[in-house]
Structure 1
Amino acid sequence: MSSLPAPLTRIIYTSRRAAQTMHLEEAALVEQILGVSRVKNATWRLSGLLVSGHGRFAQTLEGPPDLVAGMFDVIRQDERHHDVRLLHQAPTPSRCFATWTMAYLSDLDMVPAEMAIRNDAMALVLTLRAVVRGGPAAFAATPFGTVAEAA
């Protein structure tokens, strides 16, 4: 008797750098966030992608629904983030970033080949890049922007 795969969910959120982080170079702040995220995400069985630039972060997280929700609560309480907005939340049949506890793109025009060959991963990359460049309002023009916003 085979067991069904565990349900997965994906969220997309955006935030701005908090004022108290402005003394840090962006690279140093991102390294702090990535260091903590990769450890927590491995423990919590989460995967995802973080994109940063223009004082903004955009991220997608994937994993079991309760763990994604728990991590999003942690992020909302993280003092390094300000104006945290959930843009998208939906079940997903599979992970786009299954091998990465937290992938990161800083050069918004460079996309690793392993992402570019998957249409679903590429759509997420382009969505996050649009949100970083244009803010939350840019989400509506992305492939995920046609999905009703999460509450």
Structure 2
Amino acid sequence: MKTLAELFEHSLQDIYYAENALTKALPKASKAAGDAKLKQAIDGHLKQTRGHVQSLKKVFASLNLPAKGEKCDAIEGLIKETDGVIAEASGKALNAGLLAAAQCVEHYEISRYGSLREWAKVLGHDEAHKLLSEILDEEKAANNKLTDLAVSGINKK
């Protein structure tokens, strides 16, 4: 990658891979959650993630590029970490661990979408900028919901 355009395209493929990987990983986390509100939040994120995959397809289309993923080592690591929490934690500690793992994913997504949005703006990709801004806002809202869950009860339990 020698240009911002190449970095943008590669990173777009990276997050597309990540979102698709999450659609496969989130059901396992939901099943492991022992707190109804946490399970609801994870299920909501799964629904939102499926929508992000569709929005990313629109971003690719706006750039006249095929929607394809590039292996994302970061999301692979975060999913592996979540699997470790599921395997090693139990009871109420499992809920706190799952919530923390979900926030790690949100923070990654927020950083990736923030960069992509700004690169789209610099590159003059107005439609991509709009779509990526919408996804970024949803990721920030999801993170805020998880923070509220953590401080309102899951961490205290």
* TM-score > 0.5, shorter chain as reference: no
> Computing the radius of gyration over CA atoms, which structure comes out larger, 1 or 2?
2
> Greater relative contact order: 1 or 2 (C-alpha under 8 angstroms, separation 6 or more)?
1
Q: Tell me the TM-score normalised to structure 1 length.
A: 0.30
Q: Tell me the TM-score normalised to structure 2 length.
A: 0.29
